[in-house]
Amino acid sequence: MEKVKENIEDPEIKKTDESFRNTISIVEKDGHRKWIYPKKPSGRFYTARTIVSIFLLAILFGLPFIKVDGHPFFLFNIVEREFILFGSVFTPQDFYLFGLLMITVFVSLFLVTAVFGRIFCGWICPQPIFLELVFRKIEYLIEGDYTRQMELNKSPWTGSKIFKKGLKYLIFFILSFIIANTLLSYIIGVDALWKIMNEPVSAHVSGFIAIVVFTIGFYFIFAWFREQACILVCPYGRMQGVLLDKNTTVIAYDYNRGEPRGKLTEKKEKNLGDCIDCNQCVVVCPTGIDIRNGTQLECINCAVCIDACDSIMDKINLPRGLIRYDSMEGIRTGSGFKWTSRVIGYISVLLILLTTITVLFAKRKDVDANVLRTPGMIYQNQGEDKVSNMYNFKLSNKTFNEMPIKFELSESEGEIKLVGNEIILKPMEVHEGSLLILMPKDKIKKLNTPLKINAVSNGKVIEEINTTFIGPPN
């Protein structure tokens, strides 16, 4: 035990026993997977996480049904490039905003991780929420607590075992089907999903395949793959080593108070610490680690080891908090939260990003219009007294309304001729086309004349576009 204490106190100098870092808690020595049977948790943090999870799941399952003026509040239709965020339409032209939003989300995550560690995993991420607070709860309900689950798995296939396993996996499959449909409803919308469900499969082959693939995927993750997603696959989990430092609040064991650990009956006699080595913090851990070894990659900050240890401390009349939310520096010195330069740096970058995004959002227009002279074309003579240039234009309707669009020259004499029919933009449509601008020869004073074109809808100028006109100077 002393080795562990030394290890945590000053890992740089006293590297005595780091052997636990050579193995992963979910892999046996022979390389096979070690199936984790965590004890059914209980306690204040578990209850709080259950309440938070109900709230988050209500949002997750409810959002696709929320509509504003008959349109989805959120839609991420990657296939047809239709995106709706908070009821506002985003077109592929807004991709820079998406990029900035993603960067902001990452910086926020770095900031939260630098201050509170992997708190996102334990409290917000859908993977642990579904696994620990939905699927495992069902498992406990059907198969019993961890010891019963182990017994059941070892027992021969009786009628009772077939019934329990069959019922569990049937419920898991139904839940996976519901989650798959929810995910799809974010991509194609609830109305399109309803159609897939109510019309013949032959009319929606790709939608049907998507539902089947997503359902099998979720079933595989929650019925079998489980905590491996957090430990082996999740890139956020893999980045913990660079995101955490000694001032980060993590779930930590107070080795100053707990060590040397030993039996309760020998505590006084041998002057032991408060840890009675009951192993309860280990048996509840859904990733199978011993938090007393220090912060580890596998820890998803679920806090059930805090609950387990607190209940032991209550029973033996010692103060709670032997395992608690604290930083390694806090455990070592007893100090509170510190503003580190890293945290201040993240906050500064985040503020800059948020200001930029707010300004860009405020400046967003209902229609994006771009007009560019057709590459590779010079001017054309149109009769004796006129010259024309050819232009390509692109219009993006970011509303749910039809918008008639006209182009008009502002501050210049001349006329605009559309190639093709008049433009009526459909809702959320991106429309591309060509137009000609004809200018009187006597008005062209230089080779490259700046032009201003207004895009007008229902008598209102919705965008002013700057371009140039090439013609022989008069």
Give me 219's structure tokens: 């079933």
**In the bound complex, what is the minimum distance in angstroms from residue 272's beta carbon to ligand SF4?**
11
Q: Kindly report the backbone phi and psi dihedral angles of residue 456, in degrees, each rounded to the nearest multiple of 5, phi listed first.
A: -120, 135
Nearer to ligand SF4, 75 or 300 (CB): 300
Nearer to ligand SF4, 45 or 407 (CB): 45
Task: Among 115, 180, 190, 300, indicate the residue that binds ligand SF4 (CB under 6 A).
Answer: 300
Cis, bond preceding 64 (omega within 30 deg of 0): no
Please state, in angstroms and rounded to a whole number, the distance separating the CA atoms of residues 91 and 365. 12
Q: Does 321 bind ligand SF4 (CB under 6 A)?
A: no
**In this structure, are residues 107 and 346 in contact, taking their beta carbons and an 8 Å threshold?**
yes
Residues 97, 98, 103, 105: is their CA dihedral positive or negative? positive
**In the bound complex, what is the minimum distance in angstroms from residue 41's beta carbon to ligand SF4?**
8
Q: Which stretch binds ligand SF4 (CB under 6 A): 109-117, 168-176, 277-285, 392-400?
A: 277-285
| 14 contact partners, CB below 8 Å, separation of at least 6 | 6, 7
Please state, in angstroms and rounded to a whole number, the distance separating the CA atoms of residues 2 and 18. 13
For the chain, what's the residue count? Answer: 474
Nearer to ligand SF4, 316 or 360 (CB): 316
**In the bound complex, what is the minimum distance in angstroms from residue 307's beta carbon to ligand SF4?**
9
Q: Does 24 bind ligand SF4 (CB under 6 A)?
A: no
Size of the residue set binding ligand SF4 (CB under 6 A): 29
**Residue 321 falls in which region: left (phi positive, over 0), alpha (psi -120 to 50) or beta:** left
Q: 142-146, long-range: CB within 8 Å, 24+ apart, which pairs?
A: 142/167, 142/168, 142/171, 143/168, 145/39, 145/40, 146/37, 146/38, 146/39, 146/40, 146/283
Nearer to ligand SF4, 275 or 331 (CB): 275
Q: Which stretch binds ligand SF4 (CB under 6 A): 65-73, 169-177, 292-300, 359-367?
A: 292-300
Nearer to ligand SF4, 227 or 368 (CB): 227
Number of C-alpha atoms within 13 angstroms, CB side, residue 344?
4
Q: Does 289 bind ligand SF4 (CB under 6 A)?
A: yes
Binding map of ligand SF4 across residues 243-272, x = CB under 6 A, - = no contact: --------x-x----x--------------
Nearer to ligand SF4, 154 or 268 (CB): 268
Nearer to ligand SF4, 248 or 449 (CB): 248
**In the bound complex, what is the minimum distance in angstroms from residue 304's beta carbon to ligand SF4?**
5
Residues that bind ligand SF4 (CB under 6 A): 251, 253, 258, 275-281, 284-287, 289, 291-292, 299-305, 308-309, 312, 322-323
